[in-house]
Structure 1
Amino acid sequence: MKKTVLILGSGFSSLSAACYLAKAGYNVTIFEKNKTIGGRARQYKKDGFTFDIGPTWYWMPDVFERFFSDFNKKPSDYYQLDKLNPAYSVYFGKNDYVTIEDTLEKICATFETIEKGSSIQLKKFINKAKDNYNIAIKDLVYNPGVSPLELVSLTTIKRLNQFFSSVKSDVRKAFKNDKLVQILEFPVLFLGAKPSNTPSFYNFMNYADFGLGTFHPKKGMYQVILAMEQLAKELGVTIKTENPVDKIIVSNKKTTGILSNGNEYIADIVLSGADYHHTETLLDKPFRQYTETYWSKKTFAPSSLLFYVGFNKKLKNVEHHTLFFDVHFDTHANAIYDNPKWPEAPLFYASFPSKTDDSTAPKDKEAGIFLIPLAPGIEDNRVIRDTYFSKIITRFEKLTSQKVADDIIFKKSFCVNDFINDYNSYKGNAYGMANTLLQTAFLRPKLKSKKVSNLYFTGQLTVPGPGVPPSLISGKLVSELITKHHPLS
């Protein structure tokens, strides 16, 4: 007899779990509070421009391939994937930038022009990162975070010291030039913590960057969401949009369903891919696993101030992905993690998808996405947003030697308050909970509730952690737990 699973949210982890559970024979329905699916990975369209609201980087293509192959599919069955060359560029000052190309050999050549002998160090560093990638992505991250023993194997014991040293210390031992150091420290920012607080083992992100490369799905990252939606529906999943969940019903310490839009829906299993902290507020207090004190003490990944901008001309001197590291990283990081406040001189990132994808902007125009990482929970209002837009556009013009402010057709912003309102995100965080040593694997919030039978969680606050590929994996992990504890036979 089929069992019913009700899923909260329709982001990557929820869609992933829905596909696996439907394939296994469960009756699956997704409840999404917004008008469109995708969670943080929605899309914004205006005047012929198309913007990915959330993730814009497509890394670790093998994880996407592994997901679709579990259903005898390929990404190419649903969307066109192009490898970017260059992958991205990094500005350090006016007309002073480093371009990262699409192969390790090219990147080594670039490094050598900046620091003599660095190409040899880089090859050693990336080989080590590749070994860690093979261990992590092909093995460790596919564990459900139930026991510390999941981390114990011959290969991990040999690398035990890598969990007690940091990416920052490793990078700075091997490279002296500050530009190269910042480029190599950049990828771990996707894990939500400072390089000084990220275990060395996570240098596998450098292999994802330099070894595997940066890709772009034609028409944007939302194509991946649409692909997963199509797959889910092919497998029999029902998706209900504009259906916020108001309460998780518990009887005799067991969930029996949910309340949404005033209606009660009965379920054998409830799975939340929504914000973990928010999901627990849908339970009566005795059934919540983690206190407010617990959450307040955790290291959360940053929030963001984002701008989606339509330009009335093509821009010069920028790539599809462009980073602006012309100010001191440690000062900005301090304003995110140590002394939460608005940074006076923020680093920022910009994406111009129309540089490589004509579908994202009208002819002879440019689509621009600007992102400033911020501490979660800080004050957010229109005046602050406009002030920071002026700051980064002024710097952008200076660094790239072009005037653009008068060529802006429109701009839309998205910040802390929007993350809270649209996604019920704890303190308005953008990326979930950071992967620090004490927030790794079994030390993260659990996939299975300890207090309510038949209640499960998935997504970037639980295992494996923040990012799109980990979210796909999280959906698979929780589906395996559900099929283990609630077999259909």
Structure 2
Amino acid sequence: MKKATVIGAGVAGLATAAFLAREGYDTTVVEKNDTVGGRAGELTVDGFRFDTGPSWYLMPEVFEHFFNLFGTSTEKELEMVDLTPAYRLFSEGEAPIDVRSGINEAAELFESIEPGAGEKIREYLDSSSDVYRIATERFLYTTFTSLWPFLHKDVRDRLGLLITLLTRPLDKYVAERFHDHRLRQMLTYPAVFLSSHPERTPALYHLMSETDLVQGVQYPQGGFTAVIKAIEKIAREQGVSIQLNTEVTAITTEGKDVTGVRVRRQDASVDTYASDIVVSGADLHFTETRLLPPEKRTYPEKYFGTREPGLSAVLVMLGVKGKIPELTHHNLLFSKDWDKDFSVVFDGPNAQRPLNSSQSIYISMPSATDPSTAPDGDENLFILVPTPAMEGLGRGDAYAEQASPAVEAITEDVIDQVAAWCGVEDLRERIVVKRTLGPQDFAERYHAWRGGAIGPSHTLRQSAFFRGSNASKKVRGLYYAGATTVPGVGVPMCLISAENVVKRLRGDSSPGPLAS
């Protein structure tokens, strides 16, 4: 039986391992940390359980398709809850707005804020749904090894539109249709899910509005930890071996072929896993520049000098005594001058834009839906503060004795902001648990390039086939999966990237998902 080794037990690593085992490979996953899940981690402190990574469950059909391929379903594996509202929007200086999913609901909301916007949002969402379908059928589940996905009638018939959407920035595309800043923010904030700046994100990604405003937002009880457990269970059922506390120090080769990986265990012992194929679910920059010698690199260091790493973040996890009715499950706080906020994150701070000046943040309060996340009667807050991808900002105190000064300052500022903007005046006095993560944590725990929190931005030059290949051009048998390769960032994209490894191995250049 041929052997396969997968580097990293995150979403992509576990899913890829499950696929490889199903394809007949004797598959081992090696993971440097002591738990599976990667960025989709978990932290429990004094009865408060925090997801330390993803929290928005979007693109449910991707999860359903993955489960179906292994003879099960979302219904069997997860307990899903529909969220109403999808989220609450706190726009600086304005009354909060509850945003509900559904085309009619969106039209009613938009019309109530800006006369005439109701019909415009219907047209906008019709377009987003159409482009979303084409992307799913033609450009996500593919290895880009053939031109056929681009020659399909659906693509040819929309070629002019697609070119316009690829070359027009998302923020300008939205601004041409809507005037109220709150409506513009509702339609452009998904760029953050893409680790990108709205003015650098192609308007093609208006398709993201299909996910929250049309399909709706769900939550798996138990959080993304439950999703990870479901994927891990499937992998183990396929016969996958998962080795924790085992760090890959090199990908070994002979001539042009991969031969395995060299590892170092927690007890400092070293070993080599002989493999016919190796799939790295680790960060692409780390894989190429740290695990391979220069002559074996498809993507040398100079390649990354031309790329955008995307955003990083300070994650603030708070356990709060008592209930907070002012918040719902998902909450978005946007400053009116959020262009300045994006500039801080993507261009870096300066005298006019200090590091802690960004006021556009995200708050998840899963305790509104999931009683397992907090003691009875209390609340669990997860706050994401976007920051530049700068490892030097330091670490939080979730896995260290104390946070860096920069991370601590951002944390204190954001607690004050939430209290003031959301009307929770006694928030600080009610905090009983506080833990943080910073860019250095992402760099150290996950080998993330420059301490990025999500993955490379989805600019035009870093989307679709421009994002790179999921197979090495220098080493036969070496493949890539995860957020730093095709098709992109986010848990659904990581599941798709795993499936695309199988398509690559089969020589399957067709677009679209594998048949169940």
TM-score, scaled relative to structure 1: 0.96
Q: Could you list the runs of 5+ residues in structure 1 that have no partner in the other structure?
A: none
Superposed, 1:443-454 pairs within 5 Å as: 443-454=466-477
CA contact 1:94–1:401 (8 Å) conserved in 2:
no
Q: Name 2:75's counterpart in structure 1.
A: 76
Partner of 2:249: 246
Which of 431, 445, 469 is the equivalent residue of 1:408?
431
Q: Deviations over 1:444-465 (max 9, x none)?
A: 1321101111111111111101
Deviation at residue 338 of structure 1 after TM alignment: 2.5
Partners of 1:327 and 1:345 within 8 A in 2: no
2:385 counterpart (347, 364, 372): 372
Contact 1:145/1:463 (8 A) holds in 2: no
Residue in structure 1 matched with residue 421 of structure 2 by the alignment:
399
**Counterparts of 1:193 and 1:149 in 2: how far apart (Å)?**
29
Residues 134, 161 of structure 1: CA spacing in aligned structure 2 closer, same or farther, 3 A cutoff? same
Secondary structure of 1:28's partner? strand
The offset of 1:378, in angstroms, is: 5.1
Q: What SS is found at the alignment partner of 2:35?
A: coil
Query: Given residue 404 of structure 1, which amino acid in structure 2 is its aligned partner?
Result: L
Work out whether residues 420 and 428 of structure 1, in 8 Å CA contact, stay in contact via their aligned partners in 2.
yes
Q: Which residue of 2 aligns with 1:475?
A: 498
Cα distance in 2, alignment partners of residues 16 and 139 from structure 1: 21
Please state how far the C-alpha of 1:337 moved relative to its aligned partner.
Answer: 1.7
Gaps of 5+ in 2: 265-269, 395-403, 509-516
2:30 aligned partner: 31
AA aligned to 1:387 is: A
Question: 2-side partners of 1:316 and 1:287: how far apart?
Answer: 56
Q: CA deviation at 1:325?
A: 0.4
Contact 2:32–2:244 under 8 Å retained in 1: yes
| Structure 2 Cα separation of the partners of residues 147 and 420 of structure 1 | 35
Aligned residues of 1:167 and 1:195 also touching (Cα < 8 A): yes
Letter in 1 for 2:277: I
The CA distance in 2 between the partners of 1:438 and 1:8, in whole Å, is 26
Give CA deviations for 1:254-310 in whole Å, capped at 9, x if unaligned: 111111120111111111001111112111111111222211220122011001111
Which residue in the other structure is 1:236 paired with? 239
Opposite residue 421 of structure 1, the aligned amino acid is E
Structure 1 segment 33-182 matched on structure 2, within 5 A: 33-94=32-93, 96-146=95-145, 150-157=149-156, 158=158, 159-182=162-185
SS state of the match for residue 91, structure 2?
strand
1:175-219 superposed Cα distances (whole Å, 9 cap, x missing partner)? 111110111111122112112211122111011110101110001
Query: Which secondary structure does the structure 1 equivalent of 2:304 belong to?
Result: helix
Quote the Cα distance in structure 2 between the aligned partners of 1:204 and 1:60: 11
Other structure's SS at 2:176 match: helix
Decide whether the 8 Å contact of 2:50 with 2:317 is kept in 1.
yes
User: What does the per-residue CA deviation read over 1:350-386, in whole Å, with 9 as the maximum and x for residues that have no partner?
Assistant: 1100011111100111111011111102532421112
1:287 aligns with 2:325: no
What is the rounded CA distance, in whole Å, between the counterparts of 1:214 and 1:195 in structure 2? 21
**Conserved in 2, the CA contact under 8 Å of 1:112 and 1:119?**
yes
Partner of 1:352: 365
* Cα separation, 2, equivalents of 1:327 and 1:11: 36
The reply on whether 1:213 has 2:212 as its aligned counterpart is no
Amino acid at match of 2:28: T
CA contact 2:86–2:99 (8 Å) conserved in 1: yes
Query: Helix, strand or coil: the match of 1:379?
Result: helix
In structure 2, how many angstroms separate the alpha carbons of the residues matched to 1:304 and 1:147? 37
The answer as to whether partners of 1:40 and 1:53 remain within 8 angstroms in 2 is: yes
Q: Deviations over 1:368-405 (max 9, x none)?
A: 10111111025324211121112111111111222200
Q: Is the 8 A contact 1:378 1:416 kept in 2?
A: yes
What is the aligned partner in structure 1 of residue 407 from structure 2? 385
- Cα deviation, residue 45, structure 1: 0.8
Q: Distance in 2 between matches of 1:471 and 1:150?
A: 20
Q: Percent identity?
A: 32
Alignment match of 2:275 (pick from 262, 267, 271): 267
Offset of 1:152 from its aligned partner?
Answer: 4.2
- Specify which of 204, 220, 226 is matched with residue 207 of structure 2: 204
CA distance in 2, matches of 1:78, 1:69: 11
Structure 1's 327 and 391: CA in aligned 2 closer, same or farther, altered over 3 A?
farther
Matched positions, count = 484
Aligned to 1:183: 186
CA deviation after TM superposition for structure 1 residue 41, in Å: 0.5
Name the amino acid aligned to 1:455.
L
Contact 1:316 1:400 in 2 (8 A): no
RMSD: 1.5
CA distance in 1, matches of 2:146, 2:442: 32
Shift of 1:343: 4.5
State yes or no: 1:436 paired with 2:435: no
Query: Could you tell me which amino acid in structure 1 is paired with residue 505 of structure 2?
Result: I
Instruction: After superposing the two structures, state which structure 1 stretch, 151-160 or 281-290, moved more.
Output: 151-160
Q: Which residue of 1 aligns with 2:479?
A: 456
